[in-house]
Structure 1
Amino acid sequence: MCFNVSFWNEKYENNQTGWDLKSPSIPLKKYIDQLTNKNIHILIPGCGNAYEAEYLIENGFTNITLIDISDVLVNKLQKKFRNNSAIQIINQDFFILNGKFDLILEQTFFCALHPDLRPDYVEKMHQLLVPQGKLVGLLFNHNFMSPGPPFGGSKEDYMELFQSKFEFKTLDICYNSIPPRAGNELFIQFIPKK
């Protein structure tokens, strides 16, 4: 199966968004609450309905970039955030994005990509982060039986995948996942290696 623009547009057009929490992820909210510099450049790839972006705006953050491949979704987000100068919304393939970011928030983007793209994901994240920038978010600590997406994995898988490009500040079972995901998520804080 090809997870292209048409695939994701169809998901959003038909409200087939079982991953959608209808609110910001609790672990990411708690992380955001600890941030003091409201001017850092934040990227949310595969942003979905962008609840984390709404939360960032509500909390005074001024430099947020959203990117998603689905033009159906991006059109909806552009209407939703049309009067907000703190947010930039990009409709394109993540892997051709240019720029530099202090923080990249990972929330169900990695698990939506075919596993063949994971080395490209690691490389692109490393490229997009400033020195001492952070890749922060959640990865599934679970292998799904059905064909994805979502695509899962394990702590060991992620250590092997990311270790050449990132230092692991945090890679642990998430203590504050939503109940249906309890024990099945890892919270990550990765810093790019030089």
Structure 2
Amino acid sequence: MKKNKFDKAYWDNRYKDNKTGWNIGYASPPIQGYIEQLYDKSTSILIPGAGNSFEAELLWNEGFNNTFVLDIAKQPLENLKNRVQDFPNEQLLHQDFFELNKKFDLIIEQTFFCALNPDLRKPYAEKMFQLLKPNGKLVGLLFDFPFTESGPPFGGSLDEYENLFSKHFKIKILERSTNSIKERQGKELFFIFERL
């Protein structure tokens, strides 16, 4: 695998230079809708490549205290801690996603997959499988627009995602999101994948 140019230094600089166009300042509505129907507060949840992680803030405020946030850049983790001061430091994981070794009931995908070097898409699917407990779920949003080399974000298609994830997951839902923010309407797929 060639060297990943979207490494820790790259993302640290994006935050330092305030080049965070994916940051909408609140939980993404499709993911918020999913979170609002969760009921088991003991569910272990991971949000990888979480950025400023307004989804983690929402989960924490709803009593999901077994939520973990991972990012290779330190600044977004500090931003979350500044907003949610009682969020436990040991649940803020400043590390490479591919080096994590823990199991979760639920992993939430929000603008992480599209930010990775496209060479890492297959390893991403394999790592998600490894990180989930049996019958665990990978839930979130994937971009639905033609793939270009000019990312991140990098696009993709429903067919690509079906081929990539069906080896490790039962595809329960993979469909056009109906409640995306205005700027992303028609460009997002909401999904629920269950670990095989």
Give the TM-score range, shorter chain.
Answer: over 0.9
Tell me what 2:91 maps to. Answer: 88
1:35 counterpart letter in structure 2? L
Cα deviations by residue, 1:40-67 (Å, 9 ceiling, x for unpaired):
0000000100100110111111101000
User: Which structure 1 segments of 5+ residues have no match?
Assistant: none
User: Which structure 2 segments of 5+ residues have no match?
Assistant: none
* CA–CA distance in structure 2, aligned partners of residues 128 and 28 of structure 1: 20
1:72 counterpart letter in structure 2? Q
Q: TM-score, normalised by structure 2?
A: 0.93
Pick closer, same or farther for the CA change 1:126–1:75 going to 2, 3 Å. Answer: same
* CA–CA distance in structure 2, aligned partners of residues 131 and 123 of structure 1: 14
Mapped contact 1:140–1:152 kept (Cα < 8 A): yes
Q: Given the alignment of the two structures, is residue 181 of structure 1 paired with residue 189 of structure 2, yes or no?
A: no
Tell me what 2:135 maps to. Answer: 132
Tell me what 1:37 maps to. Answer: 40
Q: TM-score, normalised by structure 1?
A: 0.94
Q: Given the alignment of the two structures, is residue 46 of structure 1 paired with residue 53 of structure 2, yes or no?
A: no
* CA–CA distance in structure 2, aligned partners of residues 46 and 164 of structure 1: 23
1:112 counterpart letter in structure 2? A
SS of residue paired to 1:60: coil
Tell me what 2:193 maps to. Answer: 190
Tell me what 2:119 maps to. Answer: 116
Q: Given the alignment of the two structures, is residue 156 of structure 1 paired with residue 159 of structure 2, yes or no?
A: yes
Mapped contact 1:46–1:67 kept (Cα < 8 A): yes
1:191 counterpart letter in structure 2? E
Instruction: Give the stretch that moved more between structures: 141-150 or 48-57.
Output: 141-150
Q: Given the alignment of the two structures, is residue 67 of structure 1 paired with residue 70 of structure 2, yes or no?
A: yes
What percent of counterpart residues are identical? 49
Q: Given the alignment of the two structures, is residue 5 of structure 1 paired with residue 28 of structure 2, yes or no?
A: no
* CA–CA distance in structure 1, aligned partners of residues 77 and 70 of structure 2: 8
* CA–CA distance in structure 2, aligned partners of residues 28 and 117 of structure 1: 24
* CA–CA distance in structure 2, aligned partners of residues 150 and 28 of structure 1: 19
* CA–CA distance in structure 1, aligned partners of residues 70 and 102 of structure 2: 12
CA RMSD in angstroms, aligned pairs only = 1.6
* CA–CA distance in structure 2, aligned partners of residues 145 and 86 of structure 1: 37
Shift of 1:144: 5.0
Equivalences, count: 193
2:64 counterpart letter in structure 1? F
Shift of 1:163: 1.1
Pick closer, same or farther for the CA change 1:126–1:44 going to 2, 3 Å. Answer: same
Pick closer, same or farther for the CA change 1:186–1:30 going to 2, 3 Å. Answer: same
Shift of 1:85: 3.9
Q: Given the alignment of the two structures, is residue 104 of structure 1 paired with residue 119 of structure 2, yes or no?
A: no
SS of residue paired to 1:3: coil
